[in-house]
Structure 1
Amino acid sequence: MRAVVQLGYGGPPEVLGVRELDLPSLGDGEVLVRVRAASVHPDVWHVVTGLPRALRLMGSGVRRPSNVVPGTDMAGEVESVGAGVTRLRPGDEVLGETLGGMQWRNGGAYAEYVAVAEDALAVKPSQVTFEQAATVPTAGLIALANLPDQDQAPSQRVLVNGAGGGVGAIAVQLARSWGAQVTAVDHTRKLDLLRALGADRVIDYTTDDVTRSSDRYDLVFDVVGNHPFSAYRRVLADDGAYGLIGHDQFGAQGRRWLGSIPRMFGLMARSPVERRLPRPSFKAPDRTASMARLRDLLEDGAITPVVARAFPLEQVPDALELLASGQAVGRIVVVP
């Protein structure tokens, strides 16, 4: 099969190329998927560049990636199934995430075929394209894991900062599905997209600082983390909640060794005395249940992915550079 191969850490044009590799072998409970589309998202950029450097100690590989094929989420067709697989069969159209747990490592999705655990896959709704479906798993799982459940949501006024990216766009749509009033913050070029996704109000961060507003929000869902929590306290309701995803803006913030890790630990340390911060939880969500929920949201139209551009395997470096530029309006995918 043809696959993108990463030979080291660095700029995508310098470390990525397309090679012929053997088909993946299947273990018990695994499915061989013919990849029709795979998403381009920030975790992939981090593993290709090796930034922040701490990620290399979290399973990626110290000097070079232990798995040489990048990509973590995809959509495609089941080619064959391994022993113990009971839910899927050849010919099924699926979407899913190729890795469990920590995503700062390669998962093999940028290839013509990939082996995936059955419990990481959901059947693709028929009205959703492979390109759309491929954009959902990683971003959707992050959004589900960090947003409150609808019946526990802190009322109706929700602010999403970084709303035009993968996680932010899903957060906007999920909050709208609750019936919340959603304010979406992003760059000028993405405001029309956010209106189309259902945002009640949009704010252009290039001209307005949302933390200086007189408005108050019951939930601040902060994807990009370009303001400290102390700034958001000014716009949070007394009983509101704040959640940080911790996007490092592709190294622009200069934290090349630890990235946003110190900030995340700092917020966790404050959570016992700051009621508006979530209590830390180290229990992983049930992946099969979460994928099934994402599948239902796609089926019902509560989530409608917008694809900006598709790239062939040979142009994955260009795809990653477009992602890091912030110019894309919608999601970027790779089509083997």
Structure 2
Amino acid sequence: MTEPSAVAVTGEPASVLLPGHDVPLGRYTTVRRLLPQRALRMVGAWCFVDHFGPDDVTGRPGMQIAPHPHTGLQTVSWLVEGEILHRDSLGSLQTIVPGQVNLMTAGRGIAHSEESPAAHPPVMHGLQLWIALPDEARNAPPRFEHHAAVPVRYDGAVKITVVVGSLDGARSPAQVHSPLVGAEILLPAGAVTRLPLDPAFEYAVLAMTGGAEVAGAAGVTGAPLTPGSLLYLGDGRSDVVLQAAVDTRLFLLGGEPFAEPLVMWWNFVGRTHDEIVEARQDWQAGRRFGTVVGYAGDPLPAPEMPTTRLKSRDRHGRTATNTPRSASAAAIVNPDR
């Protein structure tokens, strides 16, 4: 599917509903990609969002993503159902289950694999997200964190889990490098909650299951939000009201608008075409990224570079002013995570 050329504006002027598109990931998994899109490349430092499942993986391999590299970003894995085994070139070996967080910081370079264990639960459902690292952190040594517990708050029957960043005074232990938030909100049928927001942040919300009405401080109701789309809320909001007629699972993304132009290609986040070329060459030559030990299969080869130079673009998709005039439009190759 191609990215949409137009978006639906809801009843509240700052809200924009953006449909995602299906992307095959490895041999056995298809995900719904919600970021980046032409109309919206980032929300704060969040630069990539995949929603997968719920998928019945009974008698099937489930997720099987061979070793691959990353630079200049953090990956956040959040599961609703299932198990994923993470391996990386630091020697990390960690199974993640629902309610836990894997946070991998690529820095100057790391490689990892993700796979469903041989004896895995029958359903797989979750999110894979990327956070772009600011310039002062993007060339730091790589690291991996696993957090078996993150903060949970309740507003009546509504459960709010702060996966990364902070929300309403609750802060996740996951170490990030930009002011941001990622939080799961569970609303039982008939529930309403009002979440306080930081007006300096921009926000978006997605539905993993169910559906919700999303309103601002004035109580203006927007278009219903159902799985498969991302509702961009913009900035300048002091709160958001969420209401669900059925049992619903939402995920809130937010952060200070990211000021640095980026080049995103394959699994790399950089600043220039030449950085991406060097990262690809290093991966193909077995340099920089190390080795993932224990995965039963070969690493993923990097795709060929496009025939034209990649452009650095800001969060709105505009070409950075310091990009050479001869540069052409940047290609975003479907990442393999």
Q: Structure 1 length normalisation: TM-score?
A: 0.25
Q: Structure 2 length normalisation: TM-score?
A: 0.25
**Which structure is higher in helix share?**
1
